[in-house]
A and B are shown apart, each in its own frame.
Chain A
Amino acid sequence: MDSLDALVLARMQFAANITFHILFPTISIALGWFLIFFKSRFLATSQAHWMAAYQFWIKIFALTFAIGAVSGITMSFQFGTNWPGFMNTVGNVAGPLLAYEVLTAFFLEATMLGIMLFGRGRVSEWVHTLATWLVAVGTTASAFWILALDSWMQTPTGFEMIDGKAHVLSWFDVVFNPSFPYRMTHMLLASGLTVAFLVAGLSAFRWLKGERSKEIRATMRVGVWVAATLIPIQILVGDLHGLNTLEHQPAKLAAMEGVWKTDKGVGAVLFAIPDAERKMNRYELSIPKLASFYLTHDINGEVKGLDAFGDDHPPVGPVFWAFRIMVGVGLLMLAVSWWSTLKLRRDSDPSTHLAIGLSLMTFAGWLAVVPGWYVTEIGRQPWLVYGVLRTADAASGVPPSNIAASLTIYLLLYAVLLAAYVSTVFYLAKKAASGAPGDEPRAGMPSAEDANDQQGELSNA
């Protein structure tokens, strides 16, 4: 019982940390590219409102990046402390991938961030632009390595097991494992969508606060357009990712779909309460034969149910629900972004309804990304590395009381930081909208002249 408690606690702690962590890279990966876009628009057109957009969003970027970086440090400790069996079994694969992430991405982004934030005026404009590019390249490279590792844990290839340890046969097959291209594309698009809604949402929020600047008109359009463009692609990629899961991790897919029994002509479950005891759905509402159709492209095609895997399948409830929340938010994104695009094409100003709708969607990306990751990670259970290493076998002998104590510390800290982050982001937007003189955010040592200078720059814009 003790070891079970320790396992549950270790999983809860790891989940708490990685859930909190992923919120911030999800924003910083794509926001880096948005910053490049704003800056290049300014350099190409000399229109000051693009610079104003850059200067506003770089503040959000700095805040987001800082929280992502410090919460990421926690992860580097917990891989080993919570899951010693992981490195012990697949260290030959995971070690180099993690090492290359630190070496090629972390230092680059952290160092270039200093130059990007504070180096303007100390380096020439092109060096500053280069630094901005390198920050975005760094965050994306970081995503590349960690997603390669995560995908390998889902669909391991390119290795052989000798005496219970994985040995690499082909690094190409390890990195470009079957689920990697789908997961990488899916996550980068998710990041793009998260930031598109963040940019559109905060711009709409500033509009509601009475701001009528060229800057927010431009950024609202950019956000809405990017969202409207990416969401259909994301839905398509998500579908392909699902087919990839069907091929390589059928148990995860059966849990996502809520299919308990292997059958032909399986319906798509819209709503149900999965009952793990009786191995069936209660209150099921489904469209007949649809799941067979989109999974096998044949209305009478056979879909493997959870019964095909004995007890080796993930818990159904969380995976089933998380999947529906993700898809639901995705469809909402489709509706809102297309509706907004059409409205903003016709009218130059957003209606109040539109502005309210967009600002409510400001953090919609998180509501899809987190459940999406739960589908992927809980869906892999009971395996840590699919078919290779069980989560229970990788757990550590750390006393449960220690894990519980540290989990409490982390949860309290993360609750405070999350509240502080969201409220500060809206506060910065409100302040930008009111443009209150003398209340310019200081990024370091302020003086009356500095505040006035910067205020001057912005109002000239």
Chain B
Amino acid sequence: MLELGIDLANPAGWLPVFFALVMAISMIAYVVLDGYDLGVGILLRQTNDLAEKDAMIASIGPFWDANETWLVLGVGILLVAFPLAHGAILGALYLPVAIMLAALTLRGVAFDFRVKAKAPYRPWWDRAFYAGSLVASWSQGFMLGQLIIGFQNTAFGNAFSGIIGIALIAAYRLLGASWLIMKTEGTLQLNAVQWAKRSLALTAIGVIAISLGTPWASARIFEKWFSFPNIVMLFPIPVMTAVLFFIIARSLERLPLRLGEGNQYGVAVPFMATLGIFLLSSYGLGYSLFPWLVIDQLNFWQAASSTEALMVIFYGVVIVFPIIIAYTAFSYRVFWGKSTPLKY
């Protein structure tokens, strides 16, 4: 910070950092929360049994809308706190963003249409649910890839981003399957263990590919990672991620036997460990990008709104954010435990 000439004691110095943090929290909250929703949507195709499909969607029904609101907050903060970066990033990602939005729209409305539309149309809304989840996941991964390499619209850049899109599909699938292990029972739960197993390997390959590909694609990140003392700061990330993968693999091996005996012990382990992998990856990503919103072009301070506007929003965030966390926690407590059929 000192080398950038930023004075963190001054509101003009710390407010952009504060909002970058709030934005990062919102985006990570979105990725893990809507991530399990999207994962469940991607898994919808794994079963032909209508009751199982209903049970899968029942497990995410009370949450998805609030989960998606984190995206609005994240993008909203990008818009109001870093308007220059909002224009630059979303302008560069115009088409993938449009595709993601169309896919999220399709997925979101399918929740209702799949149970309310005329019977002959309902299977089509299930397909829309699946396709919307899949395409939204892929385009989010694509955008992540573009963010890492600083928006290179080249064949290499698009290929790299496309592969990250596939990796994110696998990761969301793992998150969705482990959510189902935690929230459902019976055959569906046992099936979810198998789905998680199949997603696990692909997720691991994805994480390794990103970790190797990122420093290869970005010389700046290469320098950052492999210089002292950063390498010491970053070293725990791959180690802990590897441990978490091992924990998930072991848990998925043991769960079928235990569940067969009617023992629900440890059903939350795969989900929590997957959550851990997402958080570690986000930490690594944040560490690599900091303090840039657009690599080498726009940092937090260059992109920030005026201090006066940020101060007004700051008070709102400080007062309202804890309240949002509180009622979100309340909602998760209300729907705690195994999900039940949704009807109203």
Contact = CB atoms under 8 A, between A and B. Distances in A.
Most buried by B among A428, A439, A441, A447: A441
Contact of B62 (A114, A428, A445): A114
B312 A69 contact: no
Contacts, number: 246
A99 B306 contact: no
A123 B72 CA distance: 28
Interface stretch (B35-43, B94-102, B156-164, B261-269): B94-102
Nearest to B26: A102
Nearest to B111: A66
A406 B51 contact: no
30 contacts: A55-B344, A65-B65, A66-B108, A70-B104, A70-B105, A72-B72, A73-B68, A87-B80, A96-B312, A99-B80, A99-B316, A99-B317, A102-B69, A104-B320, A107-B327, A107-B328, A110-B66, A114-B66, A120-B344, A168-B312, A406-B98, A410-B98, A413-B102, A413-B106, A424-B113, A427-B118, A439-B119, A443-B342, A443-B344, A444-B115
A37 interface: no
B57 interface: yes
Most buried by B among A63, A99, A119: A99
Contact of A445 (B58, B94, B102, B321): B58
A17 B295 CA distance: 31
Contact of B79 (A79, A120, A409): A79
B55 interface: yes
B62 A115 contact: yes
A409 to B, nearest CB: 5
Residues of B in contact with A, size category:
35 or more
B187 interface: no
B269 to A, nearest CB: 25
Contacts of A413: 102, 105-106
Contacts of A91: 80, 83, 305-306, 309
Interface of B: 51, 54-55, 57-58, 61-63, 65-66, 68-69, 71-73, 75-81, 83-84, 86-87, 90-91, 94-95, 97-99, 101-102, 104-106, 108-109, 111-113, 115-119, 121, 305-306, 308-309, 312-313, 316-317, 320-321, 324, 327-328, 331, 334-335, 340-344
A111 interface: yes
A318 B51 CA distance: 51
Contacts of A410: 98, 102
Given A66-B111, A74-B101, A102-B72, 11 more contacts: A63-B112, A69-B108, A74-B105, A79-B79, A87-B86, A111-B66, A114-B63, A118-B335, A409-B99, A427-B116, A443-B61
Most buried by B among A76, A123, A409: A76
A409 B96 CA distance: 12
A402 B112 CA distance: 31
Contacts of A405: 95, 98
Contacts of A233: none
A103 B321 contact: yes
B327 A87 contact: no
A76 B79 contact: yes
Contacts of B102: 409-410, 413
A444 B310 CA distance: 42
B335 A398 contact: no
Interface residues of A, number: 78
B77 A99 contact: yes
Contact of B334 (A67, A119, A168, A441): A119
B76 A70 contact: no
Interface of B is mostly: helix
B51 A447 contact: yes
Contacts of B69: 69, 102, 106-107, 110
A198 to B, nearest CB: 16
Contacts of B312: 96, 168, 171
Contacts of A454: 343
B66 A76 contact: no
A107 B330 CA distance: 13
Given A100-B316, A114-B65, A409 B98 contact: yes
Interface in A113-141: 113-115, 117-120, 122-123
A143 interface: no
A247 to B, nearest CB: 29
B305 A417 contact: no
Contacts of B117: 420, 423-424, 427
A18 interface: no
A102 B75 CA distance: 10
Nearest to A413: B102
A84 interface: yes
Contacts of A442: 54, 115, 343
Nearest to B105: A70
A398 B94 contact: yes
Contacts of A398: 91, 94
A103 B321 CA distance: 7
A102 B76 contact: yes
Contacts of B58: 444-445
B65 A69 contact: yes
A398 B331 CA distance: 41
A77 interface: yes
A108 interface: yes
Interface in A411-435: 413, 417, 420, 423-424, 427-428
A74 B306 CA distance: 25
A402 B80 contact: no
Nearest to B65: A110
A253 B20 CA distance: 44
Contacts of A106: 69, 72-73
A427 B78 CA distance: 41
Contacts of A59: 116, 344
A238 B309 CA distance: 34
Given A106-B69, A396-B87, A402-B95, A96 B109 contact: no
Contact of A446 (B81, B90, B341, B344): B341
Nearest to A119: B334
A217 B138 CA distance: 50
Given A91-B306, A443-B342, A445-B342, A70 B51 contact: no
A102 B331 CA distance: 18
Contacts of A104: 316, 320
B344 A428 contact: no
A459 interface: no
- Across the A-B interface, the 3 shortest Cβ-Cβ residue pairs: A444-B342, A95-B80, A406-B98
Contacts of B76: 76, 98-99, 102
Nearest to A165: B306
A286 interface: no
Nearest to B56: A445
B331 to A, nearest CB: 5
B68 A69 contact: yes
A99 B73 CA distance: 8
Contacts of B118: 423-424, 427
